[in-house]
A and B are shown apart, each in its own frame.
Chain A
């Protein structure tokens, strides 16, 4: 039996994860042809590398098909209900930083805070006959955040990409999306609400809290933990 570590299968997230483990004497690498999603791990006996889409890693950990996983802390919180019962955060990896925020048109000079958004949403609903639309793909995180802050009279509309364009395209009035520099927001005439930071995300190593943990897996994990200084 091996200890399965899920890592994003491509791009900068994969490379930086490989670097992070490499710096701790655990070598992760892709094997086979450039297009084949196969990988190998060296440095800890019994550790198996599984290359997956970052978006599938939370689910795979919850389903106990992988034991450890590297993915964005935002994706885990979004995809898993009561996430902290299903996985444990082992360590932040210090890259892949992105903020999930709420943004509105810059021209809305009357809206600077969530408080303003709530009041504007009430007036918007009266004027237009429907609830103010917020485009996002982070439904759970946004809904929980707005409920906690007591914002009402809004609705979430699904947007899986180019979310910053939805306001101009008249499919939403505001957005909730990931940003790192804010440049795309500014280019699309949007501004972040002062208290509109929902979650500061970064690449994080998680451990599944499932019941698949045999003694053998535990021992491999112990060896890995020592190398990673967890």
Chain B
């Protein structure tokens, strides 16, 4: 670990780079109400964030990321379009990897703008420029392609909703897709003699029993559609080759057309901003295992020399998060964070 003073100096340098790009500095409290984060990420966040108890305010969390408080701040009083930058510590438990840092700096840049393609390209180009001296390996993806493919499946809304719920849990998603592609094995359960206890009502049980029966009568998702989704998820090539493959897939899976156009528009904007799109890697399943809020373009920057280190920078689009936190309002948003601690470490070794 490099000395903290060096990391802070690096953070200041990165933040001034984002300020020069037109961002407004933003701050977030270190103690965050736990409830919002638990509702968003579920119980898993407890294994990754430090939770503490305040006698008056209830459960509080040591800031596990900046995105949520920045979105909340913007949704309350932000003008459009808006660009923010922030710098500070975040705190993560590392129960399964005790060698990783539990407290580290992040410098971020977030854009709230209705021009999504341009904003995606802007953020990515800016991060590429900031990290260029490190010659990092770059990974990109787009979760919007998968969500579009699922939304357009020829099956019931319930099945689509079930798949959408598990987009960020690849193992579960695959199991569901497989089950939905086979004839149902549902057996109508025996009625129970036991008294009903607890909050869940008989009506809720009956509703689900009916849903199960209805689902059992549903035709399986066609193997063609399943194969196309598998094909889409396995795409891993340069952007032009992926785009060509997607155009082929879109012939049979027309629901991805809009997401494909967004991808094309983004690639065009990236080109304009000086990114070598021809050589840019794209991986369709990238970004599905992180905390579940990215729902479009995703990216990460890695060191090839030091594969033991966490990513130097990560980011992506999170339109749905602004909808969840916006109390009826929503605005497309994209952003990312750089870890100055990793940057400093790499600068020291190169």
Which positions in A face B, CB cutoff 8 Å? 81-82, 85, 105-110, 112, 118-120, 122-124, 127-128, 131, 139-140, 143-144, 146-147, 149-150, 152-156, 167-168, 170, 172-173, 188-189
Contacts and interface: CB of A to CB of B under 8 A. Distances in A.
A112 B189 contact: yes
Interface of B: 38-39, 42-44, 46-47, 95-96, 98, 162, 165-166, 169, 171-172, 175, 189-192, 194-200, 202, 204-205, 207-209, 212
B208 A110 contact: yes
A168 B197 CA distance: 5
A109 to B, nearest CB: 4
Contacts of B172: 118, 149-150
Contact of B198 (A112, A140, A167): A167
Nearest to B187: A112
B64 to A, nearest CB: 16
15 contacts: A81-B95, A81-B96, A82-B98, A105-B197, A107-B197, A107-B202, A109-B190, A110-B212, A123-B207, A124-B200, A128-B199, A150-B172, A152-B42, A167-B197, A189-B194
B208 A107 contact: no
Nearest to A186: B194
B198 A147 contact: no
A189 B197 contact: yes
A119 B171 CA distance: 16
* SS of B interface (majority): loop
Nearest to B172: A150
A-B CB proximity, top 8 nearest: A150-B172, A106-B194, A81-B95, A107-B196, A110-B208, A167-B198, A109-B189, A150-B169
A55 B194 CA distance: 35
B43 A173 contact: no
A109 B191 contact: yes
A108 B205 contact: yes
B38 A155 contact: yes
Nearest to B189: A109
Given A150-B171, A170-B199, 14 more contacts: A105-B194, A105-B198, A106-B194, A107-B196, A109-B191, A109-B205, A110-B189, A110-B205, A110-B209, A110-B212, A120-B200, A140-B47, A147-B44, A154-B42
Nearest to B39: A131
Contacts of A128: 199
Nearest to B171: A150
B198 to A, nearest CB: 4
A70 to B, nearest CB: 25
Contacts of B196: 105, 107
B204 A173 contact: no
A155 B41 CA distance: 11
B197 A81 contact: no
